[in-house]
Amino acid sequence: MTPRSVLTAGLFKGSTLGHAEIPAATAANVLVIALTPHNSKMRSRSFCANVNTTSPHVRIKHPKLPAPTTIQPHSRISKVHANSSISAIDAISSRHSSTYASARNGTAPKAPWLGSTNSLFELFEKTIPRPRRNFRFNFGASGVPKNGSLAVSDSKYLSVQVGEDAYFTRPDALGVADGVGGWAGTKGANPALFSRLLMHHAKAEVEKYDDLANYEEEVRDYYAIDPRTVMRRSYEQVMKNKSLVGSSTALIVILRNDELRVANLGDCGMMVIRDDEIIFRTEEQQHMFNFPYQLGTGSHDGPQDAQVFRVKVQESDLVIIGSDGMFDNVFDDEILDLVGRVTDGDPISKVDPQRITEALAKRAVEVAEDPRCISSPFQTRAIDEGVYYQGGKMDDVTVLTAVVGIAEDSPDRR
């Protein structure tokens, strides 16, 4: 873009041009910034005037205003470049409203930048569009299988297995899947492997964008990535194994710039906490009580049925993702309370998110295993459906927490 600078300013009254004399140095298009009062605030308008080198001034007239006045350019404003394309400036501070008032009184209006150490462009610095900030996740993960075994992580898969749950983590993406336990007793069924493969292929799909030089995807595809597309491609890879029997719910979250992109199918959950308040929360997808939407053998549900959300985030937002083993046993208010206990007044950015995940997973297991527990989210939903149930729900518990922070590096997008 050709550099340019502004010589001076004229005045509007309503939508009518006022008058002023503009010193001219070269033949060029001159941007004239015009102030007009509207609801006690100043607005701006602009137009271009051709400067003639044979005349010492450009004279802009209107009969309704006082005699023409001359506005001298600021010493720090350089000459305009000939034939430069000038666009309108869309905001001026109300503190310069006195300029219009002085024009009505017949006195010479003073340009707001005269006598200032700042140039005109510095005056309008805040009006220049700025790129969105690039964020990343600082994350933690905890998993407690219901059978008392340990979470399984090995080099064979990119995902981690927690009983019949599975998850993956990245600085720009998170995912959790819950293998449907209803397959228990069915010969050859393996919902645990199904959920793990689903998250393995989901992470592999996202990792394709780490080095675009080795793939056909272009840079714009990196920013346009869609979690539902990732879920679909992952599901297609899993279903290539014709001998695998099982099904799973799934939730995938991708962070691009300041936007969370979410695809959720089933009863896993996600929430975003900002300043001790929940600003976003997914809802369960169920055909009927305790019968969630699911991907897999014999299911009519597919990735196209997933809920899709886009959530704007800020630095220090806390993202919590979990399988139903967590959200069936811990109320939302309890989650806020536990986060507050862990942070203990410290900024969330200063707290290790692993501590939060461990606190939430521990509480979920306590509720699930306590026969004296008088209330749980699962119990509440059961009663709402007319089903008698008391206490928590025994299940695999998977919790991922991520604090949104400024990205120090960006992926290789050569």
Q: Give the pLDDT confidence score for residue 127 in this predicted structure.
A: 54
pLDDT category at 64 given cuts 50, 70, 90 is very low
Q: Give the pLDDT confidence score for residue 43 in this predicted structure.
A: 37
Q: Give the pLDDT confidence score for residue 210 in this predicted structure.
A: 85
Q: What is the percentage of the chain residues whose pLDDT exceeds 70? A: 64
Stretch 144-173: mean pLDDT: 89
Residue 274, CA distances (Å) to 96, 139, 322 in order: 37, 16, 18
**pLDDT tens digits for range 350-395:** 999 999 999 999 999 999 999 889 899 999 999 999 999 999 999 9
Q: Is the dihedral of CA 184, 283, 327, 165 positive or negative?
A: positive
Q: Are 210 and 411 in contact (CB under 8 A)?
A: yes
Residue 413, CA distances (Å) to 220, 247, 410 in order: 10, 35, 8
Residue 12's contacts (CB-CB under 8 Å, 6 or more residues apart) are 18, 34, 35, 36, 45
Stretch 33-44: mean pLDDT: 37
Q: Which amino acid is at 394?
A: M
> Does the pLDDT of residue 12 top 70, yes or no?
no
Q: Give the pLDDT confidence score for residue 154 in this predicted structure.
A: 75
Q: Give the pLDDT confidence score for residue 100 in this predicted structure.
A: 40
**Helix/strand/coil for 267:** coil
**pLDDT tens digits for range 186-244:** 888 999 999 999 999 999 999 998 876 566 657 788 889 999 999 999 999 999 999 99
The encoded tokens of residue 75 equal 């010493």
For all residues of the chain together, what is the average pLDDT? 76
Q: Which residue has the tokens 């607005």?
A: 43
pLDDT category at 47 given cuts 50, 70, 90 is very low
Packed helices 332-343 and 353-369: angle between N→C axes, nearest 10 degrees:
140
Q: Give the pLDDT confidence score for residue 112 in this predicted structure.
A: 52
Q: Which amino acid is at 107?
A: T
DSSP states along 282-331: ----EEETTEE--EETT----GGGSEEEEEE--TT-EEEEE-HHHHTTS-
pTM score above 0.75 = no
pLDDT category at 155 given cuts 50, 70, 90 is confident
